[in-house]
Amino acid sequence: MIDPQFFDELRREQDRGREQARYVEQAQVRGAIQARKRPLSRLRRGAYALASGLAMAAAAAVAWQSWHQALGLSASAPAFFVGEGAMAGSVGAFIAAPNAQELPLRFADGTRVALAAGTSARVASLDEHGAHIVLEKGRVSASVVHRPGSHWQVDVGPYQVAVVGTRFDVSWDAGSRVLELRLTQGSVLVSGGFLRDALSVRAGQTLRAFSDGGRVELLDSAQQSKAQNSPTAPSAVTPKTTPPASEPSGTVSMPSSSAPAAGPSVNAAATWQTLAGAGKYREALAAAERLGFDAECRRASGSELLTLADAARLSGSAARAEQAYSAARTKLPGGGRATYGLGLIAFDHRGDFASAAGWFETYLRDQPSGSLRAEASGRLLEALERSGQRDRARSVAERYLAQYPRGPQAALAEQLLR
């Protein structure tokens, strides 16, 4: 049921975090601190003695502890401050900036969240990973320090902005129900409201979500300054504004789950690939249909067709996916990944396991160094078993176990060979 590939990217990200955190070195440093603080048992002394060469680093850590204690950041003390002084913040309390003055919130990890004049907000929760801030109204400018495992969230009206480490301004106009998010560094993920899926916003981009119109604008900084100087530019805060038909390239105007299907105001030629890249598969397919799916299959390159075929498959349109994968096969050397995609359609959508086995075998034959060989081998094994070709399945099972003894289909292979 679980797809191990789902975790591959998470594992790589976690390994990057491990490298940055240097936990083993920290263990040595803390071991050295403990060794200096109290008498130890013989065996613990042995464990900590190995870090004795790191006295300088230990001294730095002790200095950190002193600073930490000086600020009163013990388990029972508050961990953020309101204003530039030492006024302790209180989790859950309503915080309002004066009408003519900005009010900073300072967190002990170095993160700063500045409430613009007249803004009100709350720090709803706070833990070792970060804080959950609720912006009631107004605008905040945040500079969030990234640490391994850190996670900050800002609730803005009906939206949630998930933050890893970045700098951004976000505002919520409760009257017109418009979210505006301007990112200067890093990236964030926005969800909630009328957004069906989370939307990634990157450095240099500005996101505007018009709740009443069910419309989203995502502009990069160059386009934004151009748009702001243009008399026909879409307004940042007028929800009824319709983007011009000839939007600058890269400007995305996305239909939402609750909005009507994208009409002629959306420049489909500019957006179906962007939409697919953003995981908006149904919208991407709709955009390609508006342009003429057959024409797109003739016009697009092999790699573009793979994107289109994946979007069609993931939005449940097996016929369109087959059409695009088939077109891609004719444009890619040896058929490329398209052959594997046709196998997935046969297997997952059609339940035609014999045909699926044929496609996976073709992929393995035509792509001797293909990146999906392990997956294709496993799928071939399953397809043969499900189509009743047990002798061939056993033969494939032997090869599979030899090549991928820990692969996801290893258990099935072993079962077939018993």
Partner 1 sequence: MAALRAGRGDAQHLLFERYGDYVERLIVRVLGLDAEVPDLINEVFARAFERIASLSEPSALKGWIGSIALFTARAFLRDRRSRRRFLGFFAPEELPEVPVTGAPAEVSVALFRTYQVLQQFPADERIAFALRFMDGMGLNEIADMTQVSLGTVKRRLTRAEERFVSAAARDPVLRERMAKSERWSQS
The footprint of partner 1 on this chain (CB under 8 A) covers a number of residues equal to: 89
Two tokens at 355? 């045909």
- Stretches 64-72, 82-90, 210-218, 352-360: which one binds partner 1 (CB under 8 A)? 64-72
State the Cα–Cα distance between residues 382 and 415, nearest whole angstrom: 12
Is 36 near partner 1 (CB under 8 A)? no
State the Cα–Cα distance between residues 44 and 54, nearest whole angstrom: 17
Is 163 near partner 1 (CB under 8 A)? yes
Is 63 near partner 1 (CB under 8 A)? yes
Question: Which residues, including other chains, have CB under 8 Å from residue 399's CB and lie 6 or more apart?
Answer: 377
- Stretches 187-195, 238-246, 263-271, 390-398: which one binds partner 1 (CB under 8 A)? 187-195
Is 187 near partner 1 (CB under 8 A)? yes
Which residue type sits at 337?
A: R
Do the Cβ atoms of 187 and 218 come closer than 8 Å? no
In the complex, the smallest distance separating the C-beta of residue 177 from partner 1, rounded to whole angstroms, is 20
E-strand stretches of 83-212: 87-88, 94-96, 103-107, 112-115, 120-127, 130-144, 152-156, 159-163, 166-173, 178-185, 187-192, 195-202, 205-210
- Stretches 57-65, 210-218, 267-275, 352-360: which one binds partner 1 (CB under 8 A)? 57-65
Residues 312-341 that bind partner 1 (CB under 8 A): 313-314, 316
Is 301 near partner 1 (CB under 8 A)? no
State the Cα–Cα distance between residues 361 and 353, nearest whole angstrom: 12
**Which of 6, 99, 245, 264 touches partner 1 by CB under 8 A?**
6
Is 17 near partner 1 (CB under 8 A)? yes
- Stretches 221-229, 241-249, 296-304, 308-316: which one binds partner 1 (CB under 8 A)? 308-316
- For partner 1, which is the closer residue by CB, 188 or 227? 188
- For partner 1, which is the closer residue by CB, 134 or 164? 164
- For partner 1, which is the closer residue by CB, 10 or 245? 10
Biggest distance spanned by C-alpha atoms of the chain = 80
Please tell me the total number of residues recorded for the chain in this structure: 418
Helical pair 55-70 and 23-37, crossing angle rounded to 10 deg: 80
Residues 378-417 that bind partner 1 (CB under 8 A): 405-406, 410-411
One character per residue 85-124, x = contact with partner 1 (rule: CB under 8 A): ----------------------xxxx--------------
Which residue type sits at 248?
A: P
Is 290 near partner 1 (CB under 8 A)? no
In the complex, the smallest distance separating the C-beta of residue 123 from partner 1, rounded to whole angstroms, is 13
- For partner 1, which is the closer residue by CB, 2 or 245? 2
Is 47 near partner 1 (CB under 8 A)? yes
Is 247 near partner 1 (CB under 8 A)? no
In terms of C-beta density within 10 A (0-12 exposed, 13-18 middle, 19 or more buried), how is residue 7 classed?
exposed
Neighbours of 402 (CB within 10 A): 9
- For partner 1, which is the closer residue by CB, 71 or 134? 71
The CA-based angle 143-113-203, given to 5 degrees, is 30
**Which of 36, 50, 228, 238 touches partner 1 by CB under 8 A?**
50
Phi, psi of 169 (to 5 degrees): -115, 135
Residues 189-228 that bind partner 1 (CB under 8 A): 189, 191-192, 197-198, 200, 202
**Which of 11, 36, 350, 365 touches partner 1 by CB under 8 A?**
11
**Which of 36, 37, 49, 299 touches partner 1 by CB under 8 A?**
49
Is 31 near partner 1 (CB under 8 A)? yes
Is 299 near partner 1 (CB under 8 A)? no
Do the Cβ atoms of 163 and 153 come closer than 8 Å? yes
State the Cα–Cα distance between residues 410 and 264, nearest whole angstrom: 50
In terms of C-beta density within 10 A (0-12 exposed, 13-18 middle, 19 or more buried), how is residue 181 classed?
buried
- Is beta strand 130-144 parallel, antiparallel or unpaired with respect to 152-156? parallel
In the complex, the smallest distance separating the C-beta of residue 295 from partner 1, rounded to whole angstroms, is 27
